[in-house]
């Protein structure tokens, strides 16, 4: 296990280095420099500049420095724990990152809180009685919620719950400070899709296990059904869903972009979206590092859970 952690950590660092270098390279183009200039001066402003004045402006903003020099500078700063400053928002990237990650973590917490019990229960119930009426109802519902794109779910929920019934605010900007009600719509949007997906996976795993010979043996031995399910079926059936739940942590970081931008929730996804729109490179770089870290750590956790649930698997 320790070897695994060390190996994954090294992998993570290598990925971070490669990706940050690539990002820097992409942003070291004339196109990007122009994007930065447009973001600051506007299309009409930049059109008034002569070629010389434009170059002088780039020089003043430090955008004309050689690529490797800037990269080395950035690496050094990051190694000292300084993630830089957001050009657009005029705040330290670390502050921005901390706040937005905290907001997304809150959202993710409530997603998992709803997702795990609901999806596992429904999935197991459906998988236990394959072909039953209950299974049909659950499966069809799961197919429906996973077929609707999140953006459409978001619009539907807004129209019904916020604009129609007026139960919750239409947007989650939380201008008066944190409260749970504005969180309802993004939460439901994420949950509807995720529950459907996890239910289907759990159901599939459960049906497979229920059809296996050792379950038949257990039943034939005369064990009560709850014992067969709890002691024999569940542990094996949960391997896939648990892996998925851990990967969901990572998926959330990318999925939330749509939901957070739509509902204007100030989380990681919206920060990433704003930074990409503005060309705020320091923020993008830092966000990428975080995304990589989350991806690697969630994979590590899922591997650990996998070994725990399935002792036959050993990572070397």
Partner 1 sequence: MSPPAEHALLPKLRQQLERGVLSRREFIRFATLLGMAAGTAYAMAGVAAPVMAGGTLPFPAAEPGAKRGGKLRVGEMVARMEDPATYNWNEMANQTRPMLEYLTMVGADNVVRPMLMESWKASADLKVWTLTVRGGVMWHNGEELNAEHVAWNIRRWSDPALGSSNFGLSTFAALTELTGAKDPKGRALRRPLKNGVEVLDSHTLRLNLAQPVLSVAEDCGEFCTLVVHPSFKPPLSRNPIGTGPYTLTELRVGDRCILKRVEKTTDGRDFKYWGGEVYLDEIHFYHYEQDNQAAALASGSVDAIYELSVEQIELAQSIPGAKILSVETAQTLCCRMQVDVKPFNDIRVRRAVVKAADNPAIKKLVFGNHGTVASNFHVSPVHPEYFPLAPVVRDVAGAKQLLKEAGYEKGIDLNIVVGNNDGPWQQAACEALRDQVKEAGINLTVTVVPATKFWEIWTKVPFGATSWAHRPLGTMALAQAYRSGASWNESHFSDPEFDQALSDAEATIDVQARKAKMQKVEQILQDAAVVVQPMWRPVFILASSKVYGYKAHPARQMQLNKVWMG
Residue 245 or 272: the one with the smaller Cβ distance to partner 1 is 272
CA distances from 52 to 14, 57, 265, 301 (A): 40, 9, 42, 54
Query: Which tokens in the block code for residue 234?
Result: 């569940």
**Is the CB of 74 or the CB of 265 nearer to partner 1?**
265
DSSP string, 3-60: HHHHHHHHHHHHHHHHHHHHHHHHHSSHHHHHHHHHHHHHHHHHTTS-HHHHHHHHHH
Residue numbers at the binding site for partner 1 (CB under 8 A): 31, 34-35, 37-54, 56-57, 88-91, 158, 162-163, 166, 169-171, 173, 175, 264, 266, 270, 274, 277-279
Are residues 252 and 111 in contact, defined by beta-carbon separation less than 8 angstroms? yes
Judge whether 24 and 67 are in contact, CB under 8 Å.
Answer: yes
Q: Which is nearer to partner 1, 132 or 277 (CB)?
A: 277
Calpha distance 247→231 (Å, rounded): 25
- Please compute Rg for the chain using Cα positions: 24
Q: How far is the CB of 42 from partner 1 (least distance, A)?
A: 2
Give me the least distance between CB of 289 and partner 1, in Å please. Answer: 21
| C-beta closer to partner 1: residue 81 or 164 | 164
CA distance 258 to 170: 15
| Smallest gap from residue 150 Cβ to partner 1 (A) | 16
Q: How far is the CB of 219 from partner 1 (least distance, A)?
A: 54
CB nearer partner 1, residue 62 or residue 81:
62
To partner 1, the closest distance from the beta carbon of 176 in angstroms equals: 8
Q: The tokens of 73 are what?
A: 């500078």
């Amino acid at each position: 296990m320790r070897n695994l952690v060390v190996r994954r950590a090294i992998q993570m660092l290598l990925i971070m280095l490669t990706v940050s270098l690539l990002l820097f390279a992409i942003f070291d183009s004339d196109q990007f420099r122009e994007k930065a200039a447009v973001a600051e001066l506007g299309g009409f402003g930049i059109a008034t500049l002569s070629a010389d004045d434009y170059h002088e402006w780039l020089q003043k903003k430090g955008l004309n420095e050689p690529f490797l020099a800037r990269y080395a500078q950035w690496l050094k700063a990051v190694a000292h724990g300084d993630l830089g400053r957001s050009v657009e928002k005029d705040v330290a990237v670390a502050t921005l990152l901390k706040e937005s990650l905290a907001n997304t973590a809150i959202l993710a917490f409530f997603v998992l809180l709803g997702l795990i019990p609901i999806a596992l229960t429904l999935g197991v119930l459906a998988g236990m009685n394959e072909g039953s009426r209950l299974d049909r109802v659950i499966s069809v519902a799961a197919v429906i919620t996973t077929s609707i794109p999140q953006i459409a779910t978001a619009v539907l929920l807004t129209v019904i719950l916020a604009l129609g019934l007026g139960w919750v605010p239409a947007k989650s900007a939380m201008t008066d400070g944190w409260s749970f009600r504005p969180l309802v719509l993004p939460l439901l949007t994420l949950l509807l899709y995720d529950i459907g997906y996890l239910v289907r996976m759990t159901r599939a795993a459960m049906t497979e296990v229920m059809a296996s010979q050792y379950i038949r043996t257990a039943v034939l031995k005369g064990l009560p059904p709850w014992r067969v399910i709890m002691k024999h079926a569940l542990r094996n059936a949960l391997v896939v869903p648990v892996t998925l739940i851990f990967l969901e942590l990572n998926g959330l970081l990318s999925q939330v972009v749509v939901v957070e931008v739509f509902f204007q929730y100030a989380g990681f996804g919206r920060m990433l979206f704003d930074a990409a729109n503005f060309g705020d490179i320091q923020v993008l770089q830092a966000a990428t590092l975080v995304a990589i870290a989350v991806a690697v750590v969630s994979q590590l956790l899922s591997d650990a859970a996998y070994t725990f649930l399935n002792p036959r698997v050993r990572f070397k």
